[in-house]
Amino acid sequence: MSDNQFKVLFFGDITGRPGRLAVRSYLSSIKPEDKPDFVIANVENASHGFGLTKKNYDELLSYGIDCFTSGNHIWDKKDIFEYIADDKVLVRPLNYPEQTPGTGCRIFEKSGKKIAVLNVLGQVFMPPVNSPLEVLIQKIEEIRTWVDYILVDFHGEATAEKIAIGRYLSEHGITFFAGTHTHVQTADEKIVNGMAYITDAGFCGSINSVIGMDYETSIKRFLTALPVRYEVASADEIQVNAVEVVFDAGFAVSIKRINVCYKNAGDDIVLLSETGGVYEG
């Protein structure tokens, strides 16, 4: 990577302790010469699968993560209301009402670059919110002339919604669009109009699970149609789903999909497999 390039690492939804452990293991394994310039992680499920406690917030921050994005579950732990108003790195969905605590856009400065991180909720099969496209276009117009890169975490259910809005935003100055929320990594990483794109970055957490949650409690809900308290699955085998994007002269030049699996053997974390794909524009 040349001196003029800028590397961003984005982690899909961190789910519970297994997800935090997986992210910590991955970050500690990166060689100094391969370190990213800026690290983002979606943290709405980081505390026992729902929300983010202040304790886990501090833990994740100590790993070297620069920015936390979120989604509709960020409100699930009451701790959030104690620190979100004064927080400097957490981004909540931009298309919540103006009175909602927190902010949907933050500007960071790293390695001489200004990076704008925006977070929105989709509207399909999601809580009722304002149009993500309208608020994004308005915010992009406000900031595009004085930031180097604009990164969007689109937290939504429907792949069609992500694909359509992602393509539209590629024509309006966005440089990175990552979908989150479904916890299933898509194999469609690409560069469109100089914008790095993936429909869903996936999740970080237990491999032997139902999108991070315990199989037995998940299947019981399907068999009985009764409300069941979800539990985070065990951390015996854990995974990291992420994407790494390299920018040059204001545009994305490559996007790498990351899927790394570990065996949690007590004090040792053993690499099981590493797969993914690279798209270069």
CATH number at residue 186: 3.60.21.10
Q: Which of 84, 99, 88, 89 is nearest to 42 (CA)?
A: 89
Range of the domain at 55: 6-206+235-280
- Asked if residue 218 belongs to a domain, the reply is no
Q: Is the pLDDT of residue 2 over 70?
A: no
- Asked if residue 159 belongs to a domain, the reply is yes
| Cβ atoms 71, 41 nearer than 8 A | no
User: Structural domain tally of the chain?
Assistant: 1
pLDDT cut 90: percent of the chain above it? 84
- Asked if residue 221 belongs to a domain, the reply is no
Q: Is the pLDDT of residue 265 over 90?
A: no
Q: Which of 272, 276, 206, 211 is nearest to 243 (CA)?
A: 276
Instruction: Return mean pLDDT, the chain.
Output: 94
73 among known catalytic residues: yes
Q: Is the pLDDT of residue 166 over 80?
A: yes
For residue 89, CA distances in Å to 1, 39, 255 come to 27, 11, 24
What is the reported pLDDT for 24?
A: 96
Tell me how far apart the alpha carbons of residues 177 and 195 are, in angstroms, rounded to a whole number: 7
Q: Which long-range contacts (CB under 8 A, 24 or more apart) does 109-113 make?
A: 110/37, 110/38, 110/66, 111/6, 111/37, 111/38, 113/6, 113/37, 113/148, 113/149
Catalytic-labelled residue, pool 48, 73, 155, 183: 73
| Cβ atoms 72, 80 nearer than 8 A | no
